[in-house]
């Protein structure tokens, strides 16, 4: 009994003219996610992608599908996915195979219904007839069941499509959103904290390919702190796909700041310098936006005035997907994407090392600009960009699921 995976796209199906390029990107992302676990063949038709395991035996095919499903659940652009049984387009073959195939699902249920989708209109039976006849047969074979058309425990679906018929009973929710790459590229400011990895996840969900940059202040910050950030990148690859990462040396800039600028402006000046460098790296990488993990009012550097002062040096839109979220909501997502345990490891960040005792809560742009003018940062910025170290994080074969 050979099974395949049917992938349904949600929102994407509405994208009209863009649809075929959306499908192509989704298919490419799916292939990338599955290439390390084995061979599959792929096709698409009628808002569905068909993933067929290429294996010698049904058991080996089943094992491939079991590995593929959790990976696919992290691919954006997929609304739902189901393992489905392939049958001939013949009602007798469908019932004969469906009865044993559905045993686990139906034995665990009290109520069910049958749904039929007849994409191939030449199939001799109409949908209501397929539902009624298969429903009747299943009731006979599984006499503990009752039909419930409004809220069944299990919905058995029969799809009559071009080449084959398919039967499935377990439809699983996909990650939703849009395929990574369909909305362009963006540069994430990635600290080692809880928020910025969540921001990456949220924007990748809207179709952005994410590149990250991290500002490190060795020796004030440790190698361990940097490794933590790299671990976060790795954790994000199941959602974001492969991810380029820049580590920017920030020590000299911070030391200059500390020597020459008023302490109360340290944080906001650091933010502005990070933003300027991030925008430059973003241009090099062909990004159209910056992403940060800021949330309004969370800390002194995240007041409206402070955000205005940072945005004044940005050369492209700054996306802040967490801006209206509470910490508990952010933590919930970070647990879901499994970055929380890494984020809470107690390694210092360059910002915490240089935190002023009394940061300005409502900095005025003109005062901030004046404070920054104490130092000619331009050559230091060039040096930081030239010294940035780029790495690419690809998906891991040993990825924890
Ligand atoms: P996070 O949990 O993401 O660190 P936070 O609540 O600790 O956020 P801040 O440390 O003020 O807040 O940082 C706000 C945002 O600035 C971060 O979400 C991140 O986008 C960016 N950022 C802060 N520090 C760094 C850094 N060292 N390298 C890159 N980006 C940073
Ligand atoms: Mg932080």
pLDDT per residue as tens digits for the range 91-114: 999 999 999 999 999 999 999 999
Tell me, in angstroms, the distance from the centre of ligand 2 to residue 271's CA.
11
Decide: residue 375, CB within 10 A, 0-12 exposed, 13-18 middle, 19+ buried: middle
Query: From the CB of 190, is ligand 1 less than 6 Å away?
Result: yes
Sign of CA dihedral 337, 339, 341, 344: negative
pLDDT per residue as tens digits for the range 317-371: 999 999 999 999 999 999 999 999 999 998 777 666 667 778 887 889 999 999 9
Tell me, in angstroms, the distance from the centre of ligand 2 to residue 345's CA.
12
For position 13, what pLDDT does the model report? 57
Are the C-beta atoms of residues 56 and 73 closer than 8 Å to each other? no
Tell me, in angstroms, the distance from the centre of ligand 2 to residue 186's CA.
19
Q: Using most ligand atoms within 8 A of CB, pick from 213, 279, 290, 351 the residue to mutate for ligand 1.
A: 351
Tell me, in angstroms, the distance from the centre of ligand 1 to residue 271's CA.
9
**Measured distance CA(336)–CA(331) in Å, rounded:** 9
For position 16, what pLDDT does the model report? 62
Tell me, in angstroms, the distance from the centre of ligand 1 to residue 373's CA.
24
Query: Which ligand 1 atom is nearest residue 299's CA?
Result: 11
Domains and CATH numbers, the chain: 3-173 (3.30.2130.30), 184-393 (3.40.50.620)
Give the ligand whose atoms come closest to the C-alpha of residue 225: 1
For position 12, what pLDDT does the model report? 59
At CB < 8 A and 24+ separation, what contacts does 67-71 make? Answer: 67/37, 67/38, 68/5, 68/34, 68/37, 68/40, 69/5, 69/172, 70/401, 71/33, 71/34, 71/37, 71/238, 71/399, 71/401
**Measured distance CA(252)–CA(66) in Å, rounded:** 50
Model pTM score: 0.92
Strand ranges (DSSP E) for 264-345?
289-291, 318-319
For position 393, what pLDDT does the model report? 93
Query: From the CB of 191, is ligand 1 less than 6 Å away?
Result: yes
The ranges of the chain with pLDDT < 70 are 11-17, 350-354, 396-401
- Which residues place a Cβ less than 5 A from the ion ligand 2? 191, 193
For position 321, what pLDDT does the model report? 98
């Amino acid at each position: 009994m050979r099974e395949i995976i049917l992938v349904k796209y949600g929102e994407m199906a509405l994208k009209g003219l863009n649809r075929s390029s959306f499908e192509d990107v989704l298919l490419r992302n799916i292939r990338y996610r599955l290439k390390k676990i084995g061979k599959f063949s792929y096709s698409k038709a009628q808002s569905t992608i068909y993933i067929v395991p290429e294996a010698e035996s049904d058991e080996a095919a089943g094992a491939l599908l079991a590995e593929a499903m959790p990976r696919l659940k992290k691919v954006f652009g997929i609304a739902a996915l189901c393992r489905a049984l392939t049958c001939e387009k013949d009602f007798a073959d469908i019932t004969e195979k469906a009865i044993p195939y559905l045993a686990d699902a139906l034995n665990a249920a009290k109520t069910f219904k049958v749904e039929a989708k007849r994409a191939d209109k030449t199939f001799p039976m109409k949908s209501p007839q397929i539902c009624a006849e298969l429903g009747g047969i299943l009731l006979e074979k599984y006499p503990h069941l009752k039909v419930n058309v409004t809220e069944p425990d299990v919905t058995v679906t029969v799809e009559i499509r071009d080449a084959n018929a398919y039967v499935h009973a377990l439809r699983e929710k996909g990650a939703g959103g849009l395929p990574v790459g369909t909305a362009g590229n963006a540069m994430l400011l990635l600290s080692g904290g809880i928020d910025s990895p969540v921001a990456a996840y949220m924007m990748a969900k809207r179709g952005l390919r994410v590149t990250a940059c991290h500002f490190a202040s060795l020796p004030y910050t440790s190698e361990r702190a940097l490794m933590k950030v790299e671990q976060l990148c790795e954790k994000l690859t199941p959602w974001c796909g492969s991810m380029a990462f820049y580590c920017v040396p920030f020590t000299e800039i911070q030391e200059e700041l500390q020597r020459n600028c008023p302490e109360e402006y340290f944080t906001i000046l650091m933010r502005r310098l990070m933003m300027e460098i991030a925008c430059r790296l973003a241009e090099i990488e062909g990004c159209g936006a910056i992403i940060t993990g800021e949330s309004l009012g969370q800390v002194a550097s995240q007041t409206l005035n402070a955000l205005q002062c940072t945005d004044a040096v940005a050369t492209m839109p700054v996306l802040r997907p967490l801006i209206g979220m509470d910490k508990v909501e952010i933590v919930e997502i970070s647990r879901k994407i499994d970055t929380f345990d890494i984020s809470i490891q107690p390694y210092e960040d360059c910002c915490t090392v240089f935190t002023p005792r009394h940061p300005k809560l409502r900095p005025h742009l003109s005062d901030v600009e004046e404070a920054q003018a104490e130092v000619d940062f331009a050559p230091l910025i060039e040096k930081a960009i030239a010294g940035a170290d780029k790495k690419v994080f690809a998906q891991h074969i040993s990825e924890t699921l």
